[in-house]
Amino acid sequence: MADPPQTLDGWWMLHDLSRLDRRAWWSLAESERSEALARATELWQRELTSPRASERGASGLYTVLGHKGELLQIHLRDSLEDLFQLQHKLSALSLSGLLERTWSFVSVVELSTYGQPEGAPLPEFPLDNPALKSRLHPELPEWPFVSVYPMNKRRAPGANWYTLDMDERRQLMRVHGEIGRRYAGRVRQLISGGTGLDDWEWAVTLFAEDPLAFKHLVTEMRYDPVSALYAEFGPFFIGRRIDPAAVAALWQR
pLDDT at 54: 62
Answer yes or no: is pLDDT of 181 > 50: yes
pLDDT at 4: 86
| Beta pairing class for 99-112 and 155-156 | unpaired
The region of weakest confidence among 10-24, 65-79, 110-124, 137-151 is 110-124
Spell out the SS3 assignment of 204-220.
EEEEECCCHHHHHHHHH
Answer yes or no: is pLDDT of 134 > 70: yes
Structural domain that includes position 130 = 7-250
Q: CA 15, 146, 47, 252 torsion: positive or negative?
A: negative
pLDDT digits (tens, 9 = 90+) for 92-131: 999 999 999 999 999 999 988 776 555 555 555 545 677 7
| CATH number of the domain to which 230 belongs | 3.30.70.1030
pLDDT at 116: 59
pLDDT level of residue 47 (50, 70, 90 thresholds): confident
pLDDT digits (tens, 9 = 90+) for 163-173: 999 999 999 99
Distance CA 43, CA 26 (A): 22
Classify residue 1: in a domain, yes or no. no
pLDDT at 3: 84
Classify residue 242: in a domain, yes or no. yes
Classify residue 37: in a domain, yes or no. yes
Query: Could you give the residue numbers annotated as active site?
Result: 149
Classify residue 2: in a domain, yes or no. no
In the chain, how many domains are there? 1
Classify residue 115: in a domain, yes or no. yes
Distance CA 217, CA 67 (A): 24
What separation in angstroms does the CA of 209 have from each of 74, 186, 241?
A: 18, 7, 11
Classify residue 225: in a domain, yes or no. yes
Spell out the SS3 assignment of the chain.
CCCCCCEEEEEEEEEEEEEECHHHHHHCCHHHHHHHHHHHHHHHHHHHCCCCCCCCEEEEEEEECCCCCCEEEEEEECCHHHHHHHHHHHHCCHHHHHEEEEEEEEEEEEEECCCCCCCCCCCCCCCCCHHHHHHHCCCCCCCCEEEEEEEEECEECCEEHHHCCHHHHHHHHHHHHHHHHCCCCCEEEEEEECCCCCCCCEEEEEEECCCHHHHHHHHHHHCCHHHHHHEEECCCEEEEECCHHHHHHHCCC
pLDDT at 123: 58
pTM: 0.92
Distance CA 15, CA 202 (A): 12
pLDDT at 132: 80
Classify residue 116: in a domain, yes or no. yes
Distance CA 70, CA 48 (A): 17
Classify residue 135: in a domain, yes or no. yes
Mean pLDDT across the chain? 91
